[in-house]
Amino acid sequence: MFFAILRATTPPPSVAKFSEPLVPTAAPRAIAVPRATAIAQTARYQDTLWRGKARWGIGVAIGPATRYDLAAFAFGWHLDWSAHRAPAQLANAEFAQMVRVRDNALTPAREMIVAIARAHPGSLWLIGNEPDVKWQDNVEPASYARLYNAAYVAIKSADPTARIAIGGITQPSPLRLRYLDRVLADYQTQFGAAMPIDVWNIHNFILREERNSWGVEIPPGFSDAQGILYEVEDSANLDAFRAQIIAFRKWMAERGFQNRELIVSEYGIPMPEDYGFPPARVLDFLTGTFDFFFTATDPALGYPADDFKLVQRWCWYSLDDTMYPTGRLFDPQTGNISEFGIGLQNFIARWVNK
């Protein structure tokens, strides 16, 4: 995650090092967000495993992940926004490989992608990271379609058992769903076939979409001035969080992708603590998202092979970031667990170890 953050006055030390512009703005105001459609709730926290591993994972910003004691968190997967021949090994946790598509090129190069795929058959591959954001992979839809095809062919030629996911857009807002529609259309035009996607993947932040403002700006290749004008306070808005997931599953079903698993490979609260997000509030937000992920089902939208759950796996941001530290579990400078990390550890221990 890498986005522009606002500050109406002089930023505190924890924010001043951000490399994106700090844009003065009026005081935050509440906005109306769509409430989630009623979704059936199953018994709390049944089916905690997916493909034999815990459904929840962690994004490793600094690492290595092995420097921390993560046993109590029982993570089922992890990622670090890159691809490795020898990724960090966490107990019973899958490593998700990622190919970056920034600057209209694959990173790593094709030869290394092939070597990694051969070395780790059956891996989950994410092609790109927030291609819709100019501070991340920043790729127009037609270029993304071309790069996705190149990565897909390279991986599948080396490992037909690989599971390949589209790159995660920052949030499934209407503006960014249009971005994905253009990706699908451009792929069809370029290659004369529907885009092959084994796993659907999104991020689910709740950030402002406005040109030359804070947040996640406008997707590359679009002339819009604005999308949804979320405010800072909405970063912990569970109604908006749920509504975005439901909207994306609806979008998937309407395009013939209901029979695909959906992963949320990055989400959290990137706002500084002094914007109104102390550890207790961040933990409340996280536990609310776990409740939703574990229990939300819909026969018309959810994945049939998973009892119609809307989301199969999710990944919290982050383990140890220094730029967006609000939701991190550990301080990478000291190696100490954070107050939020202790809260999450205790939360998981109450039901994982029963």
How would you class 33 by CB atoms within 10 Å of its CB: exposed for 0-12, middle for 13-18, buried for 19 or more? middle
Type of residue found at 45? Y
State how far the Cα of 121 lies from the Cα of 116, in Å rounded to an integer. Answer: 9
State how far the Cα of 99 lies from the Cα of 187, in Å rounded to an integer. Answer: 18
Where is 57: in which H helix or E strand? Answer: strand 56-59
pLDDT at 14: 32
| Residue 250, CA distances (Å) to 170, 244, 258 in order | 17, 10, 8
CA angle 262, 265, 267 (to 5 degrees): 115
pLDDT at 47: 83
Type of residue found at 253? A
Q: Six-digit token pair at 79?
A: 């990622």
Task: Point out the residues of the chain with pLDDT beneath 50.
Answer: 7-39, 41-42, 354
Q: What domains, with CATH codes, occur in the chain?
A: 39-121+139-226+236-352 (3.20.20)
Q: Six-digit token pair at 296?
A: 């939300």
> Is the bond preceding 318 in cis, omega lying within 30 degrees of 0?
yes
Q: How many residues does the structure list for the chain?
A: 354
pLDDT at 350: 82
Dump pLDDT digits (tens) for 313-352.
999 999 999 999 999 999 999 999 999 999 999 999 887 6
pLDDT at 292: 96
pLDDT at 352: 66
